Amino acid sequence: MRKHRSSLGTLLHHVHVSGPLSRAALAERMGVNRSTILALTAELVAAGLVTEEHPAGTTGAGRPSLVVRPSPDVFVLAFDVAVDHLTAARVGLGGAVLDRRSARRTRTGVDLDTVVRKLACLGRELLDAAPAGSICAGVGASYCGMIRPGDGMVRYGPEMGWVDQAFGAELAKTLDIGRPVAVGNEAHLGALAEFERGAGVGVPNLIYLHGDVGVGGGILVGGRLLGGDGGYGCEVGHMLVNPADGRPCLCGSRGCLEAETGEHALLAAAGRLHGQIGADAVRAVARDALAGDPAAAAAVAEIGDWLGIGVANLINLFNPGVVIFGGMLRDVYTAAAPHVAARIARHAMPVSRERTRLTVSALAADTTLLGAADLGFAALLNDPVQEFKAARTTP
């Protein structure tokens, strides 16, 4: 029974991540015969989770393998709580963002109630705009802080000044659609999203570094997220890299990786602290550096230097197959790559770095949002038929 449930989930996971697949391709990927695929697909079709159709362009001649497609009527609500913005999206089975709403937010002093009410409002708008007959199969949220697994409690969210705030439970209550909200740290979810459908597909030892004003990390070891004892691993941003004269960090320490490579450090180094801030300002520094602006280039060199030290340390510790730069670090890395590479050459062991590839996020601005969506889909993919039956009967 459990094995069958798991096979259904595996098949659905394949079409969720890869899009439409022929029965033959599914049989090959899952290592089962075509009659098994036929039976599993039939059950998922009956449940309303996938459809089957003849491949495009085929005529009646021969018997082409039917193509299994994720149902267009199944979606999750995905929320992304970043330092500068709140996003809510309807993401379909298959991973497409079907609809989205965003709101800017102020950086500090925002209380739980305000954030939760705003998110719930965006979520409601999306549900109201969803086509008749479509089904919300789950809810996932990405948050820029340390999250307790299981109940989505924000243990520590320095940018918002949150300590032990019951974010997941409160959002579920306020959203009030009869479904729990699964919450994860933004960089953790970003790592999983890049592993599933981004720049790290098939790379089980993967490091994802996410710039969102500060710097977060998601690290996969042997294909699994490094959780640690309580689920609080991967706090890359608070690795001390500059003990001698480090910049102050929001965490209370000085010289943390995020203090030396985050948005504030870059804008300060470029002499642009008094102008525009945020992702656009970071992008502008990176662009100007590449265009030859001396102050911007010096800032990128300085930040790239610290970033390279951090990445070299991670390479020594994790011997990763790939290091992926996402969020604001996508722009920073694009401009600072030579400085990062120089530090890695100097401080990472040759054996540790010999096969490590460095690249930028393939999912761009949607990495954490798609990670949140996958978290929302997790229960469905674990037990498709039962979960979907439950989703259909909630209001």
Q: Minimum Å distance from CB 298 to its own copies?
A: 18
Q: Which is nearer to its own copies, 74 or 322 (CB)?
A: 322
Q: Which is nearer to its own copies, 87 or 261 (CB)?
A: 261
Q: Minimum Å distance from CB 319 to its own copies?
A: 3
What count of other Cβ atoms lies within 10 Å of the Cβ of residue 248? Answer: 12
312 contacts its own copies (rule: CB under 8 A): yes
Q: Which stretch binds its own copies (CB under 8 A): 72-80, 179-187, 222-230, 265-273?
A: 222-230
Q: Which is nearer to its own copies, 287 or 347 (CB)?
A: 347
Helical ranges in the chain per DSSP H: 2-18, 23-30, 34-47, 112-129, 167-175, 186-197, 257-261, 263-269, 279-290, 294-318, 328-347, 350-353, 367-382, 384-393
Choosing from 321, 334, 359, 365, the residue that interacts with its own copies (CB under 8 A) is 321
Q: Which is nearer to its own copies, 126 or 144 (CB)?
A: 144
CA nearest 82: which of 250, 327, 253?
Answer: 327
Q: Minimum Å distance from CB 241 to its own copies?
A: 7
Q: Which stretch binds its own copies (CB under 8 A): 7-15, 251-259, 294-302, 369-377?
A: 251-259
Q: Which of residues 101-130 bind its own copies (CB under 8 A)?
A: none
Choosing from 253, 273, 280, 338, the residue that interacts with its own copies (CB under 8 A) is 253
Q: What share of the chain is helix, strand, coil (3-state, %, to 5)?
A: 45, 25, 30
Distance CA 109, CA 111 (A): 6
352 contacts its own copies (rule: CB under 8 A): yes
Q: Which of residues 180-219 bind its own copies (CB under 8 A)?
A: 205, 217, 219
DSSP secondary structure string, 266-294?
Answer: HHHHTT-TTS--SHHHHHHHHHHHHTT-H
Radius of gyration of the chain (CA): 22
Q: Which is nearer to its own copies, 54 or 346 (CB)?
A: 346
